[in-house]
Chain A
Amino acid sequence: MINARHIYKSFEGKPVLHDISVSFDENKTNLIIGASGSGKTVLLKCLVGLHEADAGEIWFDDVLYNSLSFEQKKRLRRKIGMLFQGSALFDFATVEENVTFPMDMFTDWSTEEKRERANFCLQRVKLENVNHLYPSSLSGGMQKRVGIARAIALNPRYLFCDEPNSGLDPRTSIIIDNLIYEITHEFGIITIINTHDMNSVMEIGEKVVFIHEGAKYWEGTREEILHTDNTELNHFVFASNMAKQLKAKNK
């Protein structure tokens, strides 16, 4: 379990996160949702350690992340896989080199073993015959899949995904969402997904946390989200006229 307790974060005196306490469960796809600028990316970056929280505690299972030294943090991060919004693939490396990169850095596996593992990860995300291509020659959806393959290369315990389907068409988005969902359950990991895509929420949101203006406003499941009376959440979820009409019809 990942547990964040009383997280505060501000930039140049401007508060961005305000007293956020939330836990993320194992073997579940945990979604952080919220409007653009609500602070969800900052929260995700605080959780993975790319931003340092001004106050609060972040626990990875029974390890208090804030109390770790630089080297200890580095060791913990080897258990983390992350899919970035823009994929963040290394443009100097081929697809295969991107996937084998964590293995090159942290394992003593032979070249053959690394290649086998890379092929397994690429097949797992349904990518074949792209090993020797460079990221720039792949489509957005393929880049995301390579990003997932790289993230799971070393069997992570924690998987973080920042806007995994931003910039993708609805069909590819669903493929990526399902892939993350399947991997979460297949490997029994803790997955945290940052999104504002309601399709993702309804598709894979086993636990949903709603962030609004830097504070946690609501927490529940995708089923509960449809029946909540939380005004801010309703404004966010049923933003479009079509969604409003559907909700009225359901009532």
Chain B
Amino acid sequence: MRKIFTLIGQYLLLMKKVFRKPERSAVFWKQFVQEIEKTGLSSVPIVGIVSIFIGAVITIQTSYNINSPLIPKSYIGFMTRETMLLEFSSTMIALVLAGKIGSSIASEIGTMRITEQIDALEIMGVNSANYLILPKITAATIFNPLLMLMSFMIGLLGGWMMALTSDIVNPSQYIEGLRMNFQPFYIVYGLIKMAVFNFIITSISAFHGYYASGGSRDVGRSATNGIVSCSLCILISNLILTHVLL
């Protein structure tokens, strides 16, 4: 228990170092753009592929679970939309991103730590935490919620393609379901969740990398620990946010 509190304290102290004014705004914005590419744009293919298949699978599974003739088929589209919007496009995609960008951030910063590159930054008088971590956190927190919107759209497209290529639901009924009883706040809810999850992914994985020590095996271990901690925190914060926002 004491170890957990120590880790939380260490994490908060690191965040205090991270959230300071950058030394050079020009350098920061340059890094910010690079990080959007590294943490956001590079994740577009994996998010797209996962979303289109999951959208299709949700459509099939929902249709199999609606046996009653009293329930209209358009509910398949409705359920696909709600599942994608409320849970999959934010939480599941965040877990995918935790594996992809979380491990990359932890191992990148961890390697810089064990090869003394972080010490070199400190010796120069650069706030290494601010220089290395702030652009990652801001880029992912601001840009990656767009991935949630993209995942949502592609997931619906996957479901529609399923409707188009099979007889489980008529495409027009599917579209009708998508339009049924739409709550715009759910989009805001998804975006807020995604922003929080991306803050968690980048800050926690950076924390694990920043305090890595030893050799390559320890960097690997810090990356693994980073992913596990991120996933756990995403699930806990998902519960809290859902309870608070809905």
A-side residues, CB < 8 A to B, are: 48-50, 73-78, 80-82, 84-86, 88-91, 101-102, 104-106, 160
Contacts and interface: CB of A to CB of B under 8 A. Distances in A.
- Determine which residue in A74, A80, A91, A105 has the highest number of CB atoms from chain B within 10 A of its CB, and name it: A105
A88 B119 contact: yes
Contacts of A104: 24, 27
A142 to B, nearest CB: 16
A105 B23 contact: yes
A76 B124 CA distance: 9
Interface in B111-134: 111, 115-117, 119-120, 122-127
Nearest to A102: B124
A73 B125 CA distance: 8
A105 B123 contact: no
Contact of A86 (B23, B116, B123, B127): B116
A80 B122 CA distance: 10
A81 B124 CA distance: 7
Given A84-B116, A86-B115, A90-B117, A50 B27 contact: no
A77 B115 contact: no
Contacts of B124: 77-78, 80, 101-102, 105-106
A160 B127 CA distance: 19
A74 B127 contact: yes
Given A77-B123, A82-B120, 16 more contacts: A49-B122, A49-B123, A73-B125, A74-B126, A77-B122, A77-B125, A80-B125, A82-B123, A86-B115, A88-B116, A89-B120, A102-B124, A104-B24, A105-B23, A105-B126, A160-B123
**How extensive is the interface on chain B, given as a class?**
10 to 19
Nearest to A160: B123
A50 B125 contact: no
Interface string B134-166: 000000000000000000000000000000000
B136 to A, nearest CB: 13
A77 B123 CA distance: 6
B117 A88 contact: yes
Contacts of B24: 104-105
A101 B122 CA distance: 13
Contacts of A160: 123
B116 to A, nearest CB: 4
A106 B123 CA distance: 13
B71 to A, nearest CB: 56
Given A104-B27, A105-B24, A85 B125 contact: no
A106 B117 contact: no
Contact of A105 (B27, B111, B115): B27
Contacts of A90: 117, 120
A44 to B, nearest CB: 11
A91 B123 contact: no
Contacts of A86: 115-116
21 contacts: A50-B119, A50-B122, A74-B126, A74-B127, A76-B125, A77-B122, A78-B125, A81-B123, A82-B119, A82-B120, A89-B120, A90-B117, A90-B120, A102-B124, A104-B24, A104-B27, A105-B124, A105-B125, A105-B126, A106-B23, A106-B124
Nearest to A83: B120
